[in-house]
Structure 1
Amino acid sequence: MAGRIPDAFIDEVRKKVNIVDVIGEYTQLVKRGRQWNGSCPFHDDRHPSLFVEENKQVFNCFSCGRSGSVFSFVMEKEGLSYPEAILTLAEKADIPIDHQLTAQAVQPIDQTTQAIYDLHAAAQRLYQHVLLNTTSGEKALAYLHEQRQLTDDVIKQFGIGFVPDDNVLLQYAKEQNLSPDVLQASELFITNDHGVMRDRFAGRVVWPIKTERGQVVGFSGRALDSQNTIKYMNSPESPFFTKGKILYNFDQAKNKIRQSGTALIFEGFMDVIAADMAGTPTGVATMGTALTPEHVQQLARVAQRLLLVYDGDDAGQTAARRAISLVKNHAQQLEIGVVYLPDELDPDEVRIKRGPAALQQALTQNIQTPVEFLVNAARTGKNLSNQGQYLAFLQEVMQTLQQATPVEQDLQLTKIANEFGTSKQALQAQLQQTKAAPSQTARQAKGHKPVDAFEDYMAPPPMMGGAYEAPIQQPIGQKLTKVEQAERALIMAMIKSPQVLSQVKATTGFAFVHPDYQLLMMLAAIYQGQHPEPFDLAQFMDFIQKPELNQIIMAVDRAYGDLTIEQEAIHDYLQIIMKEAPIAARIQTLQQRINVAKQQHDDTKLLQLMTELINIKKQHSG
């Protein structure tokens, strides 16, 4: 079940990675006896219900039911496949990873797609070589050094390159004997009306765009020629490059975001680089598009707080408003802040004009709450010395404040009263009137859309859905029948002992009453055939990779994992399952028929069924 990743590699990762250390990056764990305990990071866990067993390298939440190994934890928390989780943890443990293994194991892809990925990776290396080591790149390098104030180390870190006008990539692709179909599908070239192909980004400085795992899938290019009417150009949308699903620099920033808990969202690539140069390496940027739900969900897997760093112009302010609403709708657990930059400068301009220290201070100190930002944004485009526009400003502010906390309401009303000379009592009265007025939702139904959609931001979380919705299946209940207790004890013995498994399978007429245990018996047989070594709980759960079955396995292991396997006990379990289960089923059926007879007031039938039930129970007890 490990795909193309060798078992020996998986075992090496399993041995070098401690589940306590990994889960400890997401939630604080405290040692309690033989286990570690903490709040479950998959849901709002006010009474810590997550337990981690270090000796067995497994975890289990008694509240939401999630359980598994370190691999399954990372899979669910990061939204990764099983092979991707293995490789991610291997990177953490500094285990060397063969690039071919990464390409093949992460996601089975066809030869054409693999050729496209390889061509993009080669293009990035080639473009950077041209920039740093050839005369063709001297002008572009001077531009980056002098106007952008980037060092060679920063250029290398972010993979920046230059595409000359001599079709250097096209020549390379032909030398590699790549087919015309691959060249066309790669979107790295443009074909004119005469069928002549050339490098798409010729004459441009290019920034590579990478997936979360660092695979180059596109470029963003800036023209050096001031006469070029198309200043910026991005790779077009394609099956392997979707702007709404990729965040610039997420591959480099994700681990640092996880460590700090905070991600900064910028509008431009150079803003991300500027922040990194200023000592804040946790920035990402969208691809010239608005923030999407997919972007938010990516960030929610690694961050607890998002800081929006948008330009101070009208477009930037509008984008920030929309982002606030979007984040709250798709990841309510995330804290949101909005960074205010001086004089409507963008982050890179702050770094160049005022220095990295000034940018660092702005990114860490000039942080507004969503309420504060939306109140200030209500000023945009208004002459507040004009009474009518001042009243319009107040109306918009009250719509925002009616969803704010009492403390934020008091702070903002005090600030407005002091600034404009309006009595605080009058402002409080207007806020009360706003609360008593028809709801914002009702106005929206009549076609009036609020400017800031703040009600969406402050709305309570939905009962279902969202990034950390609990699984539908309930945790295994505490009240188990005698038959199911026997099933659990027997399946544990079978999983741990191939001899017991063979004995049970050879028992004529045996079958588990509950289908889940029958399935586990089948999986245990396959597992033991592939893993003759002593039983490993975490390894078995990785082999299963079914959350609902792993939840059962955790419950079974807690109850029977440490019991000694005895032949007499195995015999007793078999007897209970094979003899008492049919009787229990008959009793349950009779009880259901008795209830129906009672509802129908059929006394004759009721007496007959009651007599039958009593006789069965007498025989059984005897």
Structure 2
Amino acid sequence: MAQRIPQTVIDEVRQKTNIVDLIGQYTQLVKRGKEWNGSCPFHEDRRPSLFVDEKKQVFHCFSCGRSGTIFSFLMEKENLTYPAAIESLAQAAGITLDPRYQSQAESPREQRFTAIYQLYSAAQRLYQHILLNTTAGEQALAYLHEQRGVDDELIRQYGIGFVPGDNVLLSYAKEQELSPQLQNDSNLFLTNEAGQSRDRFANRIVWPIANASGQVVGFSGRALDAKNPIKYMNSPESEFFNKGQLLYNFDQVKNNIRQASTAMILEGFMDVMSVNMLDPAIGVATMGTALTSDHVRQIKRLAKKVLLVYDGDQAGQNAAKRSITLIDQEAPEIEVGVIVLPDNLDPDEMRLQRGLPALQNSLQQGVLTPVEFLVSAARTGRNLSNQAQYLDFLKEVMVILKQASPVEQDIQLSRLSEEFGTDKGALQQQLATTTIPKIRQETQGSGLIPPPHIPVEPDLNAYLPGSSLSRIELAERGLIMAMIKSPAMMSYVKSQAGFAFVHSDYQLIMMLIEVYQQNVGSEFDLAKFMDFIQKPALNQKIMAIEREFGDLAVERDAVQDYLRVVMREAPYEHKVNELTQAIRLAKQQHDDSKLIQLSTELINLKRQMQQDRR
């Protein structure tokens, strides 16, 4: 059996491989100061945004966000495993590997994940066989055929299955002599207090969830029994199943998205299946969570346009607003369109009730610009025949239009003038005197941002000049760098009673730093640490932290300041956010007494925060 490649060999390969020479084979690099600059070979990069640090042997693209080392670059560019990338670069550097280390040996962690993935693949095949070919799956199959309009071909295409209540997967695991530890790690089983296990998704129709490579890493199950209080159940979060990083069906349509340069983001799995009956199939969905930065980064590598197709209810409108803002922050170069289907139908309902041609027509003809959508959404909950509510509506619309192009401003003002009989000149004058609330200017740049219903004071999570990060996240990054440079500082921070990072990524990085210091050594090497992590999203953060704080000395006073911000200001931020949301709700409900009470609480809270800062 092949053995894991020793760290000494990996270090030798790194020392004998110049990252500039390696990346220079894929894109032209030019020396700019201490770094090399060129067009990123992972995406269409009109403005060269790739920077390579020859001394530290790392790279970073400021456009797509990719960061890494010689190994991660080759892994992604040539679709290699970590051991295979090491072998390839060793051969190029003239290093002969001991045969014991070859054949792409897997680490214990990789072996564990491989076993879990094999179990997931087997489970998917078993569940689909039960649905299509056994009496146990007849009821579920009839439901999919008759009520959801899904035929056997679609079932096979999307890997849909059914899990009976007789613990069929548990029996399979025992027949295969899979270890209890593997069964537990897989999250495919539930264990009661008596230590008895059962299939997690029993009596549910299941949709497999795959990562971008097509490997099944989780399931989403719908209860077949209508009386079951838990209608939907997803696999729990784990090292290999992260809803904030996974997009349903992305593995199947990523090539279509690349060719069409367009992605369609929906809310439900059945919605994805319905829109992908049309050509081109470019639909993906988030899984019970809001669109995240990781989602946007995956999409922007392939698409120049994103179509948001959310439900027409208030929750769907809010999700669309958040997504518009997030895409503008993470990928301002992407064109955004918003589709709201008629009568608040979702795509699957429209397909079933009105047919595919009607769905196709609505998807093609119903695309709104973000400005159109936000202006339309501003009507929600308002009686615009009431003068006070109409004027309130106009205030919100003017903030939206203030950030729009002159053409869209003119179009929308003309529509408002025609619909409500308001003089267009008066509307233009109000737009000219409208200012964007300060928090929007400081935190969101020049992009289109859905305005709040009431003006708010700058959040305590105030962004610093020239940075898109909050005081709290900057403090967290400063602490991370201090712990990287000093194991003693790691011990000091961990000794603080009640300390925890606000952002979970930094909590995970802290744990990885500690493991790195214990296993590799206290002397920090950026490239070695990034290879140790092998998590692209975390490596991007590590790279950013190093660029911001890498040249600063570790000082106890600075660490104390960072701790104060994280431990004392973060609770304020949480309370401010709660009050801000409550104020918006009170405004929507026209509850003036509640609005006054909450606004007073918010002002007092921020005054207290300012006093504590002094």
TM-score, structure 1 as length reference: 0.58
Instruction: Report the residue type matching 1:188 in the other structure.
Output: L
Task: Give the structure 2 partner of residue 82 of structure 1.
Answer: 74
- Contact 1:280 1:360 (8 Å CA) reproduced: no
Task: Give the structure 1 partner of residue 530 of structure 2.
Answer: none
Instruction: Report the residue type matching 2:270 in the other structure.
Output: M
- Structure 1 residues 203, 240: closer, same or farther in 2, change over 3 A? same
Which 4+ stretches in 1 moved above 4 angstroms? Answer: 38-44, 63-67, 76-81, 103-108, 437-445, 462-466
- Contact 2:267 2:310 (8 Å CA) reproduced: yes
Task: Give the structure 2 partner of residue 391 of structure 1.
Answer: 391
Q: Deviations over 1:321-378 (max 9, x none)?
A: 0111111111111111101211000111011111111112222221111111111110
- 1:51-450 → structure 2 map (5 Å cutoff): 82-87=74-79, 109-435=109-435, 439=438, 441=440, 450=452
Instruction: Report the residue type matching 1:325 in the other structure.
Output: T
- Structure 1 residues 77, 39: closer, same or farther in 2, change over 3 A? closer
Alpha-carbon distance in structure 2 between the residues aligned to 1:418 and 1:237: 51
Alpha-carbon distance in structure 1 between the residues aligned to 2:416 and 2:105: 59
Deviation at 1:277, TM superposition (A): 1.2
- Structure 1 residues 402, 285: closer, same or farther in 2, change over 3 A? same
Deviation at 1:185, TM superposition (A): 1.2
- Contact 2:164 2:204 (8 Å CA) reproduced: yes
- Structure 1 residues 272, 227: closer, same or farther in 2, change over 3 A? same
- Structure 1 residues 408, 259: closer, same or farther in 2, change over 3 A? same
Instruction: Report the residue type matching 1:139 in the other structure.
Output: Q
- Contact 2:399 2:451 (8 Å CA) reproduced: no
- Contact 2:64 2:297 (8 Å CA) reproduced: no
Alpha-carbon distance in structure 2 between the residues aligned to 1:306 and 1:158: 23
Instruction: Report the residue type matching 2:222 in the other structure.
Output: R
Instruction: Report the residue type matching 1:292 in the other structure.
Output: T
- Contact 1:207 1:220 (8 Å CA) reproduced: yes
Percent identical among aligned pairs is 56
SS of equivalent residue, structure 1 residue 277: coil
Gaps of 5+ in 1: 5-21, 24-37, 47-60, 90-102, 457-461, 467-622
Alpha-carbon distance in structure 2 between the residues aligned to 1:373 and 1:179: 53
Alpha-carbon distance in structure 1 between the residues aligned to 2:198 and 2:50: 55
Deviation at 1:424, TM superposition (A): 0.7
Alpha-carbon distance in structure 1 between the residues aligned to 2:220 and 2:340: 27
Task: Give the structure 2 partner of residue 588 of structure 1.
Answer: none
Instruction: Report the residue type matching 1:380 in the other structure.
Output: T
Q: Deviations over 1:249-283 (max 9, x none)?
A: 11111111000000011011111111111334111
Alpha-carbon distance in structure 2 between the residues aligned to 1:367 and 1:233: 32
- Structure 1 residues 40, 364: closer, same or farther in 2, change over 3 A? farther
SS of equivalent residue, structure 1 residue 227: coil
- Contact 1:244 1:291 (8 Å CA) reproduced: yes
- Contact 1:211 1:246 (8 Å CA) reproduced: yes
SS of equivalent residue, structure 1 residue 116: helix
Deviation at 1:105, TM superposition (A): 8.2
- Structure 1 residues 317, 304: closer, same or farther in 2, change over 3 A? same
- Contact 1:279 1:360 (8 Å CA) reproduced: no
Deviation at 1:113, TM superposition (A): 2.1
Alpha-carbon distance in structure 2 between the residues aligned to 1:112 and 1:231: 31
Q: Deviations over 1:165-206 (max 9, x none)?
A: 111100001011001111111110111222211101010000
Alpha-carbon distance in structure 2 between the residues aligned to 1:410 and 1:376: 16
- Structure 1 residues 409, 155: closer, same or farther in 2, change over 3 A? same
Deviation at 1:233, TM superposition (A): 0.5
SS of equivalent residue, structure 1 residue 155: helix
Q: Deviations over 1:6-48 (max 9, x none)?
A: xxxxxxxxxxxxxxxx99xxxxxxxxxxxxxx998857637xx
Deviation at 1:402, TM superposition (A): 0.7
Alpha-carbon distance in structure 2 between the residues aligned to 1:83 and 1:111: 18
Alpha-carbon distance in structure 1 between the residues aligned to 2:150 and 2:171: 29
SS of equivalent residue, structure 1 residue 419: helix
- 1:458-469 → structure 2 map (5 Å cutoff): none
Alpha-carbon distance in structure 2 between the residues aligned to 1:319 and 1:81: 35
Deviation at 1:294, TM superposition (A): 0.7
Task: Give the structure 2 partner of residue 555 of structure 1.
Answer: none
- Contact 1:444 1:450 (8 Å CA) reproduced: no
Gaps of 5+ in 2: 6-25, 28-38, 54-58, 67-71, 82-102, 445-449, 459-464, 470-614
SS of equivalent residue, structure 1 residue 217: strand
Q: Deviations over 1:91-128 (max 9, x none)?
A: xxxxxxxxxxxx96899843322211111110000000
- Contact 2:50 2:60 (8 Å CA) reproduced: no
Alpha-carbon distance in structure 2 between the residues aligned to 1:330 and 1:108: 35
- Contact 2:43 2:301 (8 Å CA) reproduced: no
- Structure 1 residues 124, 40: closer, same or farther in 2, change over 3 A? closer
- Structure 1 residues 39, 88: closer, same or farther in 2, change over 3 A? closer
- Structure 1 residues 155, 442: closer, same or farther in 2, change over 3 A? closer
Task: Give the structure 1 partner of residue 524 of structure 2.
Answer: none
Alpha-carbon distance in structure 2 between the residues aligned to 1:398 and 1:449: 9
Task: Give the structure 2 partner of residue 542 of structure 1.
Answer: none
TM-score, structure 2 as length reference: 0.59
Alpha-carbon distance in structure 2 between the residues aligned to 1:126 and 1:368: 43
Alpha-carbon distance in structure 1 between the residues aligned to 2:156 and 2:288: 23
- Structure 1 residues 452, 226: closer, same or farther in 2, change over 3 A? farther
Deviation at 1:227, TM superposition (A): 1.1
Q: Which has the higher contact order (CA 8 A, sep 6+)?
A: 1
- 1:4-83 → structure 2 map (5 Å cutoff): 45=46, 82-83=74-75
Alpha-carbon distance in structure 1 between the residues aligned to 2:311 and 2:203: 28
Deviation at 1:465, TM superposition (A): 8.5
- Contact 2:396 2:451 (8 Å CA) reproduced: no
- Contact 2:336 2:369 (8 Å CA) reproduced: yes
Alpha-carbon distance in structure 2 between the residues aligned to 1:368 and 1:188: 42
SS of equivalent residue, structure 2 residue 358: helix
What's the Cα RMSD here? 3.7
- Structure 1 residues 362, 81: closer, same or farther in 2, change over 3 A? farther
SS of equivalent residue, structure 1 residue 207: strand
Alpha-carbon distance in structure 1 between the residues aligned to 2:80 and 2:50: 25
Q: Deviations over 1:226-257 (max 9, x none)?
A: 11111000001111111111111111111110
Deviation at 1:83, TM superposition (A): 3.4
Alpha-carbon distance in structure 1 between the residues aligned to 2:265 and 2:106: 27
Alpha-carbon distance in structure 1 between the residues aligned to 2:46 and 2:347: 37
Deviation at 1:84, TM superposition (A): 4.5
Alpha-carbon distance in structure 2 between the residues aligned to 1:64 and 1:87: 20
SS of equivalent residue, structure 1 residue 212: coil
Instruction: Report the residue type matching 1:82 in the other structure.
Output: L
- Structure 1 residues 106, 285: closer, same or farther in 2, change over 3 A? farther
Which is higher, the Rg of structure 1 or of structure 2?
A: 1
Deviation at 1:156, TM superposition (A): 0.5
Deviation at 1:138, TM superposition (A): 0.7
